[in-house]
Structure 1
Amino acid sequence: MFGLMLNAKETQEMEYLLKRELEELLLDLTDSRIDGIVKRAMEERYQIIFRMYKRFVNPKEYMKYMRNRQTSKKAEQHRKTE
């Protein structure tokens, strides 16, 4: 466990950075040119960053970035067939 104290401006900056990273990962996860192994690593990274983002914003905000389990399952099935 690691503790971190941030002031209001730093909190806003952290929210912004995490949000941008989530958006970039979502875009990359839809790219068909990216290999399944790489997408699996990206999905794991997405989950970690999403959990961090949830700590900074209210539920209404983080619901926008919640991944659909069906999408994740389809991606996993696709990786297995490759």
Structure 2
Amino acid sequence: MLGLLISEIEQKEMEYLIRRELDELLLDLEDHRIDHMVKRAMKERYRILFQLYRRVASEKECMKYIPSQIEK
């Protein structure tokens, strides 16, 4: 197990960056022009980023990005 010691400002920055990436992935997953193989990789990336997001964001914020939203 690894640990990470970050300040509150760094936590907010990480939260913001991950949230932006999650939003971008959600938009791209709705695009019908993207191939299914690419979407599968994007879904995996989304799940990994969501796991990171859970570690830095509040439970209320995480509820907006639960992975079941992308299972279409």
Q: Partner of 2:58 in structure 1?
A: 58
Q: Which amino acid aligns with 1:22?
A: L
> What is the Cα deviation at residue 54 of structure 1?
0.5
TM-score by length of 1: 0.80
Could you list the structure 1 runs, at least 4 aligned residues long, displaced by more than 3 angstroms after superposition: none
Question: Structure 1 stretch 51-60 or stretch 33-42: which is displaced more?
Answer: 51-60
Task: Name structure 1 gaps, 5 residues minimum.
Answer: 75-82
Alignment of 1:1-82 (within 5 A): 1-68=1-68, 71-72=70-71, 74=72
Q: Which amino acid aligns with 1:26?
A: L
In 2: Cα distance, 1:41 partner to 1:11 partner: 26
TM-score by length of 2: 0.90
- Give SS of 2:56's match: coil
- Give SS of 2:57's match: coil
Q: Which amino acid aligns with 2:53?
A: Y
How many residues align? The count is 72
After superposition, the C-alpha distances for 1:13-65 in whole angstroms (9 at most, x for unaligned) are 00000000000000000000100000000000000000100111121110001
- Give SS of 1:65's match: coil
Task: Name structure 2 gaps, 5 residues minimum.
Answer: none
